[in-house]
Amino acid sequence: MQPDQVIGGRYKIIGPLGEGGMANVYRAYDMILDREVALKIMRLDMRDDPIAKKRFENEIRASTELVHPNITQVYDYGDDDGNQYLVTEYISGPDLKRYETDNFPLPLTKVVDIMGQVLSGVQEAHNHGIIHRDLKPQNVLMTVDGTAKITDFGIARAQSSFGMTQTNMAIGSVHYMAPEQVRGEPATPQSDIYSLGIMLYELLAGKVPFDGETSVAVAIKHTTDPMPLVRESDPRIPQAVENVILKATAKNPLERYDSANAMRMDLATALSPDRVNDARWISPSANDETEPTKVMTTIKGQTTANEAKLSEKTATVMAVNRDNDEATATTAGQADQQPKPFYKKKRVWLVGILAVLAAFIIGLTIYGMQTPKQATVPEVQDMSLQSAKDELAAANLKPGTITYKYSETTKSGDVLASQPKAGAHVARDAKIKLTVSKGPHKIRFGDYRNEAYETVADRLKAKGYTVTNSHEHSDSVPVGYIIKQSIKPDKKVIPNKTTVNFVVSMGPEKIDLPQASQKSVEDSEAVSRATNPSVASSKSERREESSTSETSQSTSSTDSEKPDTYSNSEVSPSTPQVSSSSSTTVSGQMIKERKR
């Protein structure tokens, strides 16, 4: 993409900002809303892949529902001549990697504050069922006021379908990749928590805990090497802070924090004086994992207690499995050495039958002892979560992983399903996975002011909205563009149950001036007198002269023999005269005043 190129009819590219696994990022200018934005455009080498395009689009739409102060806000998305794009808010500050490099070492309070913000944003994403999968300092942007904002939500999720087949896609993230991701297992919220633990280590130590010449070497270290202790690089770091790192980066995902919020709360109190004497956190499975490799030294002629137990257990099993064979072999051996008399054959048969029965009974007993007691999974669908937990407890079962899913039919907080399903037979105290309804899927409505109504209406109708409109004149909003909307931008709504009304601009209002109507002479004179007293006085004198003249002419017509009377009716030289040109001027002024 070149500078000044316009995408989507409104976003003018200013210059490149960076490149990612699936998209290139540009700084752009929104020509309609007059603001700078970040414009992400899908890479050319992936846009022809229908699966990649579909996942890119789905994940972009999913990320539009993430409204949080610590997540970059999504403004718009679309397709321009085959180029899928995503528009987000533009952050002028550096990413966390550059921020840490420029300001290292960071104060402990600042590190806790930044990580608290990031964890808060990650928890919001997890609440919506979105896993970032590529958390690293490069994907956290810092504003000028110190606010941390996570970026690249959704795109990293689509990127996981490509694995590590493209080396430049995995090298940048392998330093923060959880062991289960390295093994190719699906990412979970605990995978994000592992990455956050690595980030916390790096902010404190100034380097990543695992490094190597190749990405494969680093990945192997994540799965096999123990987590380095951050206090070895700086003993001033409290043990409670180091414990947060150790628990977040446990090799076993089940030993990590249950949620990002739990990690945030633990970190928030790590600098408290009450936790100065905290002991180092140790993985609960550390002893279990190393016990099989221990070498036990013994004194000649003695065995350890473990060996004795193992021998006893093995002997018991062998006795159960081979009881009949050993009994038969012993009998055969004694027969060879000392033949039995004929009258004792019945006793031998009886002993053999009794031995077989005893072995059968012992076998059933041992099998019953080794077989765990079972329980039946109860029906918990459509129950509240607490009621479902109580029902499981009554059946000698425990609730396992609880996941949340949107549902149009089941109200929020009620159980959608269990795994295993109701009626299944499982071991007592087994953990049953529950899926709980989040209610109907609500999404942020968005701000569509100053956008073309037709485009917005088509897009919203495709999502299930009911769209209506009304019209108003506007001097600032172009014709056909939206002036205001009936729903607030940040309101969460259900598309197929939402009706929105847009007020659409008709452009500036046109004012038609009415034609000047005829007015009486008195009105004209009143206007003239108000604007030009001298002209008004002159006109009054003319009216008087005209009246005198008419009187004289009338007298002359009745008495034509009195010329002196007619002569006396003439205007004296001292009387002000108004010429025809003056009359024209006054008339023009009156017309102008009328128009005013």
DSSP code per residue over 567-594? HHTSPPTTS----HHHHHHHHHHHHHHH
* Whole-number pLDDT of residue 123: 95
- Which residue out of 30, 95, 134, 266 is catalytically annotated? 134
* Whole-number pLDDT of residue 24: 87
* Whole-number pLDDT of residue 6: 94
* Whole-number pLDDT of residue 195: 96
Q: What is the pLDDT along the chain (596 residues), one digit of tens a residue?
A: 788 999 999 999 999 988 766 778 999 999 999 999 999 888 887 777 777 677 677 667 667 778 899 999 888 888 888 788 889 999 989 999 999 999 999 999 999 999 999 999 999 999 988 888 889 999 999 999 999 999 876 554 544 444 433 433 433 479 999 999 888 888 899 999 999 999 999 999 999 999 998 888 999 999 999 999 999 999 999 999 999 999 999 999 999 999 999 999 999 999 999 999 999 999 887 655 444 433 333 333 343 333 333 333 333 333 333 333 333 333 334 434 444 444 445 566 666 677 777 776 776 565 455 445 678 899 998 898 888 898 888 888 999 888 888 888 888 889 989 988 888 888 888 899 999 988 888 888 999 999 999 999 999 998 889 999 999 999 899 999 999 999 999 898 989 889 999 999 999 987 766 655 455 555 555 555 555 555 445 545 555 554 444 444 444 444 444 444 444 444 444 444 444 444 444 444 444 444 44
* Residues 158-198: tens digit of each pLDDT: 444 444 334 334 334 799 999 998 888 888 999 999 999 99
453 close to 403: Cβ distance less than 8 angstroms: no
Query: In whole angstroms, how far apart are CA 584 and each of 531, 578, 579, 590?
Result: 16, 10, 9, 10
Q: Do the domains at 6-89 and 446-505 have one common CATH topology?
A: no
- The b-or-e profile of 493-509 (16+ CB within 10 A means b, else e) is bebeebebebbbbeeee
Is CATH 3.30.200.20 what the domain over 6-89 is classified as, yes or no?
yes
134 is annotated as an active-site residue: yes
Coil, strand or helix: which one is 341?
coil
Annotated binding site: which residue ranges?
40
* Residues 359-379: tens digit of each pLDDT: 767 765 654 554 456 788 999
Q: Closest by alpha carbon to 502, among 563, 538, 454, 541?
A: 454
CATH number of 376-437: 3.30.10.20
The fold of the 96-151+168-284 domain, in CATH, is: Transferase(Phosphotransferase); domain 1 (1.10.510)
* Whole-number pLDDT of residue 74: 87
The separation between the first and the last C-alpha atoms of the chain, rounded to the nearest angstrom, is 57
Each domain of the chain, given as residue ranges in start order, spans: 6-89, 96-151+168-284, 305-370, 376-437, 446-505, 521-595
Q: Closest by alpha carbon to 128, among 159, 162, 153, 160?
A: 153
Annotated binding site for ATP: which residue ranges?
40
pTM: 0.50
- The b-or-e profile of 434-473 (16+ CB within 10 A means b, else e) is bbbbbebbbbbbbbbbbbbbebbbebbeeeebebeeeeee
Give bridge partners of residue 499 from the DSSP assignment: 466
Spatial distance between the Cα atoms of 435 and 259, rounded to a whole number of angstroms: 17
The fold of the 446-505 domain, in CATH, is: Trypsin Inhibitor V; Chain A (3.30.10)
* Whole-number pLDDT of residue 404: 86
